[in-house]
Amino acid sequence: MSARHALVTGAGSGIGRAIAIALAAEGHVVSLAGRRAAPLSAVRDEIQAAGGQAFVHDGFDVTDAEAVERGMAAAIAAAGEIAVLVNCAGEAPSAPFEKTDFPLWQRVLSINLTGVYLVTQAALASVRRAGNGRIVNVASTAGLTGYAYVSAYCASKHGVIGLTRALALELARTDVTVNAVCPGFTDTPLIDGALETISQKTGRSREDARESLARSNPQGRLVTPQEVAHTVCWLASRKATAITGLAIAVAGGEIL
């Protein structure tokens, strides 16, 4: 499926960045979607330096339907129909449930769940036109189990998995597959925020906090963004044609 167009949201850092780079390395033309131009441009430059092709689409706010429509139209105009859609934009603030106020709840659900809905709604017709389309939603092990102090995040990621399964069934008789990947604790800038919160609340060092998160993985380590990206690339390939409606944990055995 080389030289096909892949659009990745949240492509400026962390898992989204790793996915964009991996897809480009496999020959896809990659649309880098996100709110800020600078990190997206850095990813584009890295892809181009390696001989790949990528386009920057900043101002792509997944919570804003009009911004999504504009960004999608620009991406299709630049690189053709979208064969691979990767929904990766997300946020993971932590707070006890009693301190999870409504604005926090709304923000997390808006980015993590409604964002997937808006982007997929805007892209689906193009994905179907492209043929052998692939939709991959980056969820989390928090969509497969519960974690304390991230109730909004858990709710949003459970919702992403539910949406993935429902859409996979609706599209099962087409040539579009829909799957989710569910990373465990992953070594990204997002985890840095969690480490800072744990350190502030417990008085433990960031190193101790990192070790405590790593221990949740039976392999005793954090997942790498590249490991998540490899799974996405497989789901985007022809080798995964019969794989749809799954939520695949990339977590070292944490979720069995």
> What is the C-alpha to C-alpha distance for residues 101 and 114, in angstroms, rounded to an integer?
18
Residue 97 amino acid letter: F
User: Which entry of 117, 147, 149, 153 is annotated as an active-site residue?
Assistant: 153
Distance CA 183, CA 40 (A): 22
149 is catalytic: no
Catalytic residues: 153
